[in-house]
Structure 1
Amino acid sequence: MTRALDGPAATALDALPCALLSFDASGRVCGHNARLLQLLGRSARHLKGCRLDTLLSAGSAMFLRTYVLPLLLGHGQADEISLDLLHADGSELPVLLSARREGLGADAVVHCAILPAPRRSDASQELQRARREAERARGHLERANADLDRFAASAAHDLSEPTRKVRAFGDRLLQSRRSQLHPDDLDYVRRMLAAAERMQAMIDGLQQLSRTGQDRGPGPRRPLAEVLREVLEESDRHITAAAAQVSVGELPEVEVDATAVAQVLQNLLSNALKYRREGVVPEIRIDGGWLEDADAPTWWLRLRDNGTGFAPEHAHRLFEPFLRLHDKHKYPGAGLGLATSQRLARGLGGNLEAEGAPNEGASFTLTLPA
């Protein structure tokens, strides 16, 4: 029979806002209320003895067999399962189904309560549209960044030759005409050469920055402690020249992209050695650990110094290319090291952040997924 109840009880069930459906151990419909007929656009005669999976979309029928029925068999109940019913006109109707099993084996009957979920389809369509828009926007951004990287690389290459010639002819002028030049003229030549040196440093930094935007692929993976040790060994001459004290604390045991992480560490260490205060022994502390509240395993490494520091409101601007917060004559460089480092960090799926205060030092924290 296709009606589990008759008389007043059936009338009460028909008045419920949710559809009711029962099916037996063979998967055939053995009970329903009028609301289900309304949802399906079918008559009671069409439902008599039909299999439940014929009332579902192909995907929902497979989901019923592979997930819902085993769940009911093992636990006896299933709550708010998303399925698509098939209307008589062939359209799909998203619903939420909650079910309870009664009895075992061949005598088992499953009773279901079904509520329409028309908004699910609309939300899904909106989500799909939003995803497509996001993909298009990301594609435009990636192409724009790629074009910018190519332009930067081309511009850096084209500027290198005239800059080298300015430096070369300036050096020749000093060597061959030094005794014939007025002291003021000598000063002009020296300033010209110093400016050319700064220009070359900016060109080199621009080339390096453009290369970080290219798809270089993953580098060799090695233990973080090993990568840091090599960076410190390579920088030993500069550390000694600055009379700096470098200490390394606890580090996370993790393998990293050795090429990219080494470059970030070199840039951060170079900055810490460069922006030191006069009359103060440079102190650099490096340590790290694991983020406890991250959704996925994420490690961090922090480099702190006691140098010149910076105003906290400028923290987000430190990573802008060519930005210089300090006297460019006192602190040489192109202003691209931090921009390159943050780009490398983000390319690895992480980030680089800065904190500091004037004359109290700076702290840079690198976070990366394991």
Structure 2
Amino acid sequence: MSLKKLFENAVFNWVLITSIVIVMIITNGILAMKTIEDLSATQSSLYNTGDVIVELDDLHNLILMAETGQRGYLLTEIEEYLTPYQDALGRLNAQINDTKKLRSEVPGQTERIASLIQLVEQKVNELTKTVELALAEKEKRALKQVMTGRGRDLYRELRAEIEQIKTLEINYRNSLFTILSAVEREAKVTFIISGITSTLLLLGLAFFARLNAKSEVKHRLQLEQQNQVLADKVAMRTKELTIYSDELSRSNRELEDFAFVASHDLQEPLRKIRAFGDRLQTSYAPLLDEKGADYINRMRNAAERMSNLINDLLEFSRISTRGKPFVNVPLQEIVASTLEDLEISIDESKAELIVATLPAINADPSQMHHLFINLISNAIKFRQADVQPVVEINYCQEEITFEPWHIITVKDNGIGFEQEFADKIFVPFQRLHARTQYKGTGIGLAICRRIVERHGGKISATSVLGEGTVFRIAIPVNNALINLIGDNANA
């Protein structure tokens, strides 16, 4: 064979060997990269589903802490129980934001988590309203609200939702462990083949194969450590949940017993005062002197005020529970109807009403009527002496947090008040003036706030003493979902 032929054969062999080496290196590289990517993706998925489980447990624990503190305070009226309640509420907002950021890989979990967040927000609102009533010395109303069972039903729905989400995440995590085991087996086979071929073809590949093997062991150890941490956290949360559940059950039983007694006994004294007062005035009026008659009148007036307070409080409480479904409400017609109802007081005070063009909004018609009656009658009642009252109702639409809102303002030129009391006027039974100056129970503006809040909006007041007040009502244009949630909650 000629040298040329030998050279050509040698070149061909080297080219063939080099091609085989390159193909094997590329193949081994592709297999190794796929194994690493599978391991990394599986590890990331395990971290993610673990975070979902831990965040849900933290959210559940905070709700239980808040409810335990609420029940303890309502039962005992000891303010020390408010410490865990306030601490839990303070941490709940951050926890809710963290939960909203969760991105589960399980199909349908995003919708379930969104539904869970809505339940949590409803539960927080129920807890907050009850404690606010208790702090405002309305224990009876607070207990009555608790006895509706709404809080218990919300907690059951919330716990069921959490358990469903956790079960799906745990099942998904178990499937990830199965995938991880398969990936590990594939990785071992891949690296064995890579080691053998690399040893036969190129010693250098063996070095890189060993590095990959060490990296694999490192990842596996990290996964095992993370799994142990997650297992410890789950065990600790389970123990805490058991303790909180037992305490909550005991508090509920005691609170139900107390509310049953209070709801019957607290009504009787008022009925007796009014009944005996009427009997005294009817049967013994000729036997009483002027002072005695005055005492009876004062007693009957006090009983009447108490009756009005109870009725106003009942109306205040029914804003959410007895509200009608939202419909398309033309505010122009609502205001016109309101002015007809207030015709006598408007004529007596010679008030001037300036009403801008108002839109139709999605709302409860009767509550909108009640809202404008309270605001306009307040503007007329708290007028300045010897000054013609002027009430202006204006409307515009604004963008707030990238969403359109209805903005309605009611402006008057009345007596006004110091701006530092702007929040106090919306608190039930809070008065800035003596009862002898201006009649009323002090709950009208609190009802206004409840009505606006039921529509998903906010109400605020800006005032200057001696110059008048401007009430600003902001209601979201797209509040259909708020109405749907409220109706489901009342149901």
Q: Is the pair's TM-score, using the shorter chain for normalization, greater than 0.5?
A: yes
Q: Does structure 1 residue 139 correspond to structure 2 residue 246? A: no
1: CA distance, partners of 2:401 / 2:39: 48
Residues of 1 paired with 2:143 and 2:318: CA distance?
A: 11
Residues 1:88 and 2:39 aligned together? yes
Show CA shifts across 1:5-32 (max 9, x none): xxxxxxxxxxxxxxxxxxxxxxxxxxxx
Matched ranges for 1:150-161 at <5 A:
151=143
For residue 319 of structure 1, what is the aligned residue in structure 2? Answer: 426
- Please say if 1:226 is aligned against 2:337: no
Which residue is 2:390 aligned to? 283
- Decide which of 257, 261, 264 is 2:364's aligned counterpart: 257
User: TM-score, length-normalised on structure 1?
Assistant: 0.62
Is 1:310 the counterpart of 2:417 in the alignment?
A: yes
Decide whether the 8 Å contact of 1:250 with 1:289 is kept in 2. no
Aligned residue number for residue 31 of structure 1: none
SS of the equivalent of 2:414 reads coil
Q: Please list, as runs of the form range in 1=range in 2, the aligned pairs for 1:101-250 lying within 5 A after superposition.
A: 130-131=95-96, 136=120, 138-143=122-127, 145=129, 149=141, 151=143, 162-214=269-321, 216=323, 218-250=325-357
User: Residue 45 and residue 330 in structure 1: after superposition, are their counterparts in 2 closer, same or farther (change >3 A)?
Assistant: closer
Equivalence for 2:225: none
Partner of 2:442: helix, strand, or coil?
A: coil
* TM-superposed deviation, 1:171: 3.7
Secondary structure at 2:423 match in 1: helix
Kindly provide the amino acid, as one letter, of the partner of residue 228 in structure 1: V
Secondary structure in structure 2 of the residue aligned to 1:352: strand
Q: Measure, in 2, the Cα distance between the counterparts of 1:313 and 1:144.
A: 23
Q: How does 1:13-92 map to 2 (within 5 A)?
A: 43-46=28-31, 86-88=37-39, 91-92=42-43
Q: SS of 1:87's equivalent? A: helix
Pairwise CA distance, 1:93: 4.2
Does the CA-based 8 Å contact 2:330-2:359 persist in structure 1?
A: no
Q: Aligned with 2:422: secondary structure? A: helix
**Pairwise CA distance, 1:162:** 4.2
Kindly provide the amino acid, as one letter, of the partner of residue 46 in structure 1.
L
- 1:252–1:290 contact (8 Å) kept in structure 2: no
Tell me, what secondary structure is at the counterpart of 2:363? strand
Q: Deviations over 1:222-253 (max 9, x none)?
A: 21111111111122122223332222123235
Question: Residue deviations 1:180-200, cap 9 Å, x none?
Answer: 321111221222122122111
Question: Structure 1 CA distance, aligned partners of 2:366 and 2:381?
Answer: 22
TM-score norm. by structure 2 comes to 0.48
Contact 1:354 1:364 in 2 (8 A): yes
* 2:376 paired with 1:269: yes
The residue identity in structure 2 corresponding to 1:361 is: G
Q: Report the CA distance between 1:352 and its aligned residue.
A: 0.9
Count of residue pairs brought into register by the alignment: 274
Alpha-carbon shift at residue 338 of structure 1 (Å): 0.9
The C-alpha deviation readout for 1:49-95, integer Å capped at 9, x for no partner, is xxxxxx79xxxxxxxxxxxxxxxxxxxxxxxxxxxx9523761548x
Q: Read off the aligned partner of 1:263 and give its amino acid letter.
A: H
Alignment-derived partner of residue 332 in structure 1: 439
Superposition deviation, residue 177 in structure 1: 3.1
> What's the secondary structure of 1:349's corresponding residue?
coil
Shift of 1:205: 0.9
Read off the aligned partner of 1:88 and give its amino acid letter.
L
Distance in structure 2 (CA, Å) of the matches to 1:179 and 1:278: 41
| 146-155 vs 239-248, which moves further | 146-155
State the secondary structure of the residue aligned to 2:426.
Answer: coil
**Distance in 2 of aligned mates of 1:220 and 1:251:** 16
- Contact (CA 8 Å) 2:393, 2:409: kept in 1 or not? yes
**CA displacement 1:136-179 (0-9 Å, x = unmatched):** 57525425646965635787987566435433443443344333
* Structure-2 change in CA distance of 1:283 and 1:167 (3 Å): farther
Tell me the C-alpha RMSD between the 2 structures: 3.8
Unaligned runs of 5+ in 1: 1-33, 49-54, 57-84, 95-117
- How far is 1:351 from its partner? 0.8
Quick check: 2:410–2:470 contact (8 Å CA) kept in 1? yes
Task: State the Cα distance separating 1:220 from its structure 2 match.
Answer: 3.6
Percent identity of the aligned residues?
Answer: 30
| Range 193-202 or range 289-298, more displaced | 289-298
Looking at structure 1, the residues matched to 390 and 263 of structure 2 have their Cα atoms a distance apart, in angstroms, of: 35
Instruction: Give the Cα separation in 2 of the matches to 1:205 and 1:161.
Output: 19
Q: Which residue of 1 aligns with 2:21?
A: none
Residues 219 and 260 in structure 1, CA contact (< 8 A), matched pair in contact too: no
One-letter identity of the residue aligned with 1:151:
L
Higher normalized strand content (fraction of residues): 1
Determine the C-alpha separation between the residues in 1 that align with 2:263 and 2:398: 39
| Maintained 8 Å contact 1:146/1:214 | no
Structure 2 counterpart SS, 1:45: helix
Alignment of 1:343-354 (within 5 A): 343-354=450-461
> Which residue of the partner structure matches residue 368 of structure 1?
475
Q: Quick one: distance in 2 between partners of 1:293 and 1:140?
A: 24
